[in-house]
């Protein structure tokens, strides 16, 4: 990665950390979570060549963060990620708000049965949100309560694209 790319990555990561806005009435911090998730994909999406990255999103001491883990090397676009490693990194006393994960660059654009089951297992957590990125950088959320791949796929909502986000950040930096 070029020096400018490393600088931008550092700025994105620093911008994603920090105090959340005032506690929203429902206590879910949806806008803060979305901003954090986009920053996580901007950081980890480009690294997802041979690995999948997974993070639990949490609120701890007024800041939103992610407890992140990485899969072993993917084989033909198939990755299995042990999410327990990320769970162990969640700070004691944190409120879990959701999860995100990347798909490898040569992987599937579709959710897997493991993706759907994993989010479904946490649907009882108030405010829980689920996000993933497709190999082309598109970032989507889906309904964690979905009971099958077709229902999860039908519930997806596009929330951004980390490749477009990085390109815009690079262009902005070039003109400064």
Domain count across the chain = 1
Q: Given a cut of 80, is residue 150 above it in pLDDT?
A: yes
Q: What are the DSSP E strand ranges found in 74-161? A: 95-102, 129-133, 138-142, 157-161
> Which of 110, 55, 120 is CA-nearest to residue 86?
55
Which residue's structure tokens are 């990347």? 102
pLDDT value, residue 108 = 94
pLDDT value, residue 101 = 98
Handedness of CA 51, 112, 142, 28 (dihedral sign): negative
Mean pLDDT of 66-93: 94
Q: Given a cut of 70, is residue 13 above it in pLDDT?
A: no
Q: What are the DSSP E strand ranges found in the chain? A: 53-60, 63-70, 95-102, 129-133, 138-142, 157-161
Whole-number CA gyration radius for the chain: 16
Residue 54: give the domain boundaries.
Answer: 3-174
Side-chain half-sphere exposure of 129, counting CA atoms within 13 A: 22
Q: Is the pTM of this model over 0.95?
A: no
């Amino acid at each position: 990665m070029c020096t400018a790319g490393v600088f931008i990555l550092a700025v994105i990561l620093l911008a994603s950390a920090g105090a959340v806005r005032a506690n929203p009435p429902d206590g879910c911090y949806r806008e803060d979570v979305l901003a954090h998730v986009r920053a996580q994909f901007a950081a980890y999406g480009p690294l997802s060549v041979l690995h999948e990255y997974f993070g639990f999103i949490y609120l701890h001491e007024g800041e939103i963060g992610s407890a992140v883990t990485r899969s072993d090397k993917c084989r033909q676009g198939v990755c299995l990620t042990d999410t327990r490693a990320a769970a162990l990194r969640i700070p004691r006393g944190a409120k879990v708000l959701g999860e995100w994960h990347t798909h490898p660059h040569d992987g599937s654009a579709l959710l897997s049965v493991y993706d759907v089951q994993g989010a479904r297992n946490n649907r009882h957590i108030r405010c829980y949100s689920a996000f993933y990125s497709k190999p082309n950088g598109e970032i989507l959320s889906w309904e964690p309560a979905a009971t099958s791949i077709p229902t999860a796929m039908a519930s997806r909502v596009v929330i951004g694209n980390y490749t477009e986000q990085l390109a815009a950040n690079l262009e902005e930096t070039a003109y400064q």
